[in-house]
Amino acid sequence: MHSLYSRGLYIAMIICCCFFQSCNKEFMDYYNPESTLGNNILGILEEKGEFDLFITLIDKADLRKTLGESAIYTCLAPRDEYVRAYFLDHLGYTTIDEVPLPDIRAYINYHFINGMYYMHDLEKRYHTTDVLINKSRITNYKTRTEGKVSGKSIRVFTPSFFSTQAADYSFMFGENGSDYRIEGVKLSAVDRDIDARNGVVHVLDAPLYPSRRTDLALKNDPELSMFSQWVEKHAQFMLGDMDENGNVDTTLYKNYSFGRNLADENTLSTIFAPTNEAISAYFAPYMDMIHNTLDSVPVHVMYSFIRSSIHANLWYKSDLERSIPEWSSLSGFIQYANPVLDAITGVTHASNSFIYKVNTLMESPDMHSVRSGIMMQYKRYSQWYWMLTNRNLGAGLVDGLYYQHSPKTLLVQSDEVWGFPFAQDMEPLEQELRYQQCRTGIFNLDIRADGGFRKRFYPTDHGFVLFDNDQFEDYSGHKVNLLTKNPVWEKSNGAIYEIDGFLNPIDRLDNTITVIRKMEQEQQLSTFLAIVNKSGLAGELQLTGFFSYSVFAPSNAALSAAGISAATLNEAQARTLVNRYIIANRFIFTDGVFNGQIANKNGEQLVFGGAWDTFSASYQGNMAMVSKGNVQASNGVLHIINNVL
């Protein structure tokens, strides 16, 4: 037994030795380490003698011990001439001694990537990643964080990247790339993979300038100055967190109110930033609404456009092309992808984002829908705007995902017509009524597609509204005037028109105006009402809420001519008779919008046709004309007919 155990252990040791020898061979093949493992990164740089200025800056920042002993890094080593090129030529300092210490520390930290990455590691991370979008994301690395100053994102490109996504590199940097590059800078073909006790050193072949944060990159590009101003109008500053001792970090940290913090180095974004020319072209037709100056673009309109321009994470151009149309902004999926990609005119580099400059504005769902008219003209319709943003008045006006908005027509009141009190000053019940009055002016169709306003009942969430002779009439008979037949705003899914008052909403829970109550108010329906009571259906026709009915009630004269009376019917016969004249749901018929068949409560098919005075209902050859129609109730509609079916 002992012999078998010894023999097994011996075999296992041989296998392990072979394995480690194989691993060592691969390590030696790829890394080819120099005999300097005793030195840390700074010691390596001092030995080489081309990095004295970089070492001087490290000592000036008191980072020698930190960078030499405290962690594992990949150092992107800049030669002395590259340091001078950045501070003296690029930033314009006369001498290095003039450079502020925060700028020095930022420059040093940008040249240290967290973790140890040899060429083989960089290449392997890319080519062993299967999904294309993940290949793009794997090019992103993080530079050194110091205290509360976060490190920056930095892009590292390898031979596999250039074999797969070379066009992305040339598009972003304006030149063809190969081998290994950090952002747009080559790594030395000779001085790379230099081992150190606390990491590895790669020498740069050109100056590597720290990328600006997104908000600062936008500000620095003169073609994007307007968009940058929009972004900054939504900037806010917040205090830091409280520590375990209750002390608050009083540093003011920058943030933005539109839902993505462009000032956070850890928040990665892709931005389609409209150029000044693009913004000017978009607003040219609306200058009279914004006081003839782009400075007067409403802040909420800016907010809406900003959100439609920002996408989460980093997207190379090839990623966007592959993902059509499934790439999403903060305000929803961008459906019209090709025109947007065609609109890209250039790139502005930033540390925590890809900024594509575009020659057109990407409309948010709000600005793409009829709701944009309230947003653009909020000074004239400020009360409507308040109700849209605070009471969800605009529910159903916008499809926030794919821009497939349902058709709508809005009847709105100017602030002058609205009067006092303003919406925000109303008591809750008064405000709720005003909300419903506004919703009664939102038609669930685009009247432009219906040939314009004509004599018709228009559907809303709070009853049907009749238009006739330039007036709108609600269920109660109250009328308001259409002020102009030309819309004050038009968009793809509808238009806005002005009226001179408010329409009354029908309360669907009001049990005083149910179908049965409306029948009780009609003397010519007393016989039919008696039959309804005998049938046991009166209680059902009194229900409010979920159920609704359209009742075609024969008049007393019609029932008398047919020899029908409540006294001659039993309950079952009465129920069968009444159910013949009831169909489910609300139907307004006499404007001729609907012609066809609908089943009644007996399952029988009633046929409807005609319009207004010629409107009729028929069953098995028996036809009845509507003598009084479209009496709206809280739970349905009543029509009085002149014959039995």
Residues 378 and 367: beta-carbon distance below 8 Å: no
Asked if pLDDT for residue 325 goes beyond 90, the answer is no
CA neighbours closer than 13 Å in the CB half-sphere of residue 12: 6
Asked if pLDDT for residue 12 goes beyond 60, the answer is no
Kindly state the DSSP code that residue 480 receives in the 8-state scheme. Answer: E
Residue 5: per-residue pLDDT: 41
pLDDT digits (tens, 9 = 90+) for 179-238: 999 999 999 999 999 999 999 999 999 999 999 999 999 999 999 999 999 999 999 988
Q: Is the peptide bond before 421 cis (omega within 30 degrees of 0)?
A: yes
Asked if pLDDT for residue 139 goes beyond 90, the answer is yes
**Comparison of pLDDT for 34 and 363, the residue scoring more:** 363
Mean pLDDT of all residues in the chain?
A: 90
Q: Which of 538, 474, 529 is nearest to 640 (CA)?
A: 529
Residues 420 and 387: beta-carbon distance below 8 Å: no
Asked if pLDDT for residue 409 goes beyond 90, the answer is yes
User: Which residues, at least 6 apart from 354, have a Cβ–Cβ distance to it below 8 Å?
Assistant: 172, 269, 270, 271, 314, 315, 316, 347
pLDDT digits (tens, 9 = 90+) for 45-74: 999 999 999 999 999 999 999 999 889 999
pLDDT-based confidence at residue 13 (cuts at 50, 70, 90): very low
Instruction: Provide the CATH number for the domain formed by 41-203 in this structure.
Output: 2.30.180.10
Domain with CATH 2.30.180.10 in the chain: 41-203, 214-363, 370-498, 515-641
Q: Which long-range contacts (CB under 8 A, 24 or more apart) does 609-618 make?
A: 612/455, 615/589, 615/590, 617/552, 617/589, 617/641, 617/645, 618/645
Residue 290: per-residue pLDDT: 87
First CA to last CA across the chain, in angstroms? 103
Q: Which CATH architecture has domain 515-641?
A: Roll (2.30)
Kindly state the DSSP code that residue 417 receives in the 8-state scheme. Answer: H
Residue 365: per-residue pLDDT: 87
Superfamily of domain 214-363: FAS1 domain (2.30.180.10)
Instruction: Provide the CATH number for the domain formed by 370-498 in this structure.
Output: 2.30.180.10
Residue 334: per-residue pLDDT: 63
Residue 324: per-residue pLDDT: 67
Residue 403: per-residue pLDDT: 81
Kindly state the DSSP code that residue 151 receives in the 8-state scheme. Answer: P
Kindly state the DSSP code that residue 10 receives in the 8-state scheme. Answer: H
pLDDT digits (tens, 9 = 90+) for 436-478: 999 999 999 999 999 999 999 999 999 999 999 999 999 999 9
Q: Please tell me whether the overall predicted TM-score, pTM, comes out greater than 0.75 for this model.
A: yes
Angle at 472 between CA 471 and CA 478, to 5 degrees: 105
Angle at 530 between CA 528 and CA 531, to 5 degrees: 65
Asked if pLDDT for residue 335 goes beyond 90, the answer is no
